[in-house]
């Protein structure tokens, strides 16, 4: 019966024999096979590297990542978990492990991994982006309830905004914007409301207070679409040279002050985040016009990306 080198990883102790030199040799061979596009061969070499040194965080991460790309999620998960146990925890391993946990619906563990990254690097763009997704996914779990509660929530979304205690001015503005139900309101962003003529700060505060009392917030209905679009892009570029492009901060782009301010209002931090938005969402921001839209399109195109379309 053949022996899988990875078996030595499970249940290893500090007394386990380590051979860093042999591990380094096999890791280098794995990287070479990876560069040649032979990922299965790379996995074999990385397994040998881990067998030689079960505590090598680098070898564990490389093996986990390669297995992840081959769809061997269970084995990849075990390796990621072992990799982050070695101090200091590999940041990329923590983030990738968080993604695997999120895919499995284990939002608590996913959030824990991301918080570990943000404790040492509060502005880490990928960790911030994934944390937003994980928290949104966790919050939406409440919607996966029995049919009775599902219909109850649907009825709430269909409630006319005129049924809520809002000022005449707020009601009039919402009516002119064709916002007739609570569900319609949740699809609108704060920026879009503020861009409407005669819609002031007092009306915004009034509406946000009403939503908060019900555990809701503006733009909540759009977050699902953004999250799905970001995940689709991540899956599309996974394993390619463009994978890192999605995590590039928008602050590094040469954009006008007006365009940058609009992206800040929408909490857009990375190119992947930007590509998950539609033209209509950007145009809903006050003072964001055709010139700024053209600028955004050009910057995305330079990186092989485009704004999300409603069909997507």
Q: Are residues 132 and 32 in the same domain?
A: yes
Phi and psi (nearest 5°) for 181? -125, 170
**Residue at token pair 């955004």:** 296
Alpha-carbon gap, residue 98 to 77, rounded angstroms: 10
Q: Is residue 251 part of a domain?
A: yes
Indicate if 25 and 125 belong to the same structural domain: yes
Q: Which ranges of 9-70 would DSSP assign to H, the alpha helix?
A: 20-35, 39-52, 57-69
* Euclidean distance between CA atoms 197 and 107, whole angstroms: 41
Residue 116: helix, strand or coil by DSSP?
A: helix
**Lowest-pLDDT choice from 105-114, 144-153, 222-231, 257-266:** 144-153
| pLDDT of residue 311 exceeding 50 | no
Q: Is there a domain that residue 307 lies in?
A: no
Assess contact for 70 and 39: CB atoms under 8 A.
yes
**Distance from C-alpha of 66 to C-alpha of 257, rounded to nearest angstrom:** 41
State the CB neighbour count (10 A cutoff) for residue 5: 17
Q: Is pLDDT at 267 greater than 90 in this prediction?
A: no
Classify residue 312: in a domain, yes or no: no
190 and 294 housed in the same domain: no
Residue 172 and residue 198 in one domain: yes
pLDDT at 46: 92
Q: Are residues 89 and 48 in the same domain?
A: yes
Number of DSSP helices (H) and strands (E) in the chain, helices first: 17, 0
Q: How many structural domains is the chain composed of?
A: 3
Q: Which domain holds residue 87?
A: 17-141
Asked which of 110, 141, 172 is the last residue of a domain, the reply is 141
- 43 and 100 belong to one structural domain: yes
9 assigned to some structural domain? no
Residue from 40, 95, 84, 22 nearest 58 by CA = 84
Is 1 inside a domain boundary?
no
Does residue 11 lie within any of the structural domains? no
Evaluate whether residue 159 is within a structural domain.
yes
Q: What is the pLDDT of residues 210-247, one digit of tens each?
A: 888 888 888 777 776 677 778 888 888 787 766 678 88
Residue whose C-alpha is closest to residue 308's, from 300, 38, 28, 142: 300
Residue with tokens 């809520």: 164
Same domain, 44 and 114: yes
130 lies in the same domain as 163: no
Is the pTM for the entire model greater than 0.85? no
Whether 169 and 243 share a structural domain: no
> Which of 165, 187, 212 is where one domain is finished?
212
pLDDT of residue 32: 93
Q: Kindly report the average pLDDT of the chain as a whole number.
A: 81
Say yes or no: 104 and 182 in one domain: no
Domain limit, last residue, from 141, 157, 175: 141
What's 166's domain CATH number? 1.10.150.20
CATH number for the domain spanning 53: value is 1.25.40.10
Q: Are residues 185 and 129 in the same domain?
A: no
The verdict on residue 3 lying in a domain is: no
Q: What pLDDT, on a 0 to 100 scale, did the predictor assign at position 27?
A: 92
Express each pLDDT in 173-208 by its tens digit.
888 888 888 888 887 777 777 777 777 888 888 898
113, 26: one domain: yes
Asked whether 63 and 50 are in contact (CB, 8 A), the reply is: yes
Per-residue model confidence (pLDDT) at position 47? 93
Task: Provide the pLDDT for residue 260.
Answer: 85
pLDDT value of residue 62? 92
């Amino acid at each position: 019966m053949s022996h899988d080198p990875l078996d030595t990883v499970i249940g290893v102790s500090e007394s386990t024999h380590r051979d860093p030199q042999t591990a380094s040799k096999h890791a280098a061979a794995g990287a070479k096979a990876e560069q040649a596009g032979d990922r299965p061969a790379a996995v074999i070499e990385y397994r040998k590297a881990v067998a030689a040194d079960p505590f090598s965080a680098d070898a564990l991460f490389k093996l986990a990542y390669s297995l992840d790309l081959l769809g061997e999620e269970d084995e990849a998960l075990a390796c990621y978990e072992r990799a982050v146990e070695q101090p200091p925890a590999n940041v990329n391993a923590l983030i990738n492990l968080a993604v695997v946990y999120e895919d499995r619906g284990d939002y608590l563990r996913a959030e824990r991994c991301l918080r570990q990254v943000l404790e040492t690097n509060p502005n880490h763009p990928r960790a911030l982006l994934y944390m937003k997704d994980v928290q949104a996914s966790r919050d939406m779990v409440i919607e996966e309830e029995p049919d009775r509660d599902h219909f109850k929530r649907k009825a709430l979304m269909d409630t006319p905004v005129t049924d809520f205690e809002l000022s005449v001015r707020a009601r009039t503005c919402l009516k002119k914007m064709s916002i007739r139900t609570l569900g319609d309101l949740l699809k609108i962003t704060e920026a879009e409301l503020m861009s409407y003529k005669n819609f002031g700060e007092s009306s915004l505060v009034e509406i946000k207070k009403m939503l908060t009392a019900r555990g809701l917030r503006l733009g909540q209905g759009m977050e699902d679409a953004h999250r799905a679009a970001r995940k689709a892009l991540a899956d599309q570029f996974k394993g390619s040279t463009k994978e890192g492009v999605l995590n590039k901060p928008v602050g590094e782009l040469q954009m006008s002050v007006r365009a940058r301010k609009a992206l800040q209002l929408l909490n857009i931090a990375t190119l992947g985040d930007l590509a998950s938005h539609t033209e209509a969402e950007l145009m809903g921001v006050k003072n964001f016009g055709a010139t700024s839209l053209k600028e955004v399109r050009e910057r995305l195109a330079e990186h092989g990306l485009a704004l999300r379309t409603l069909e997507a």
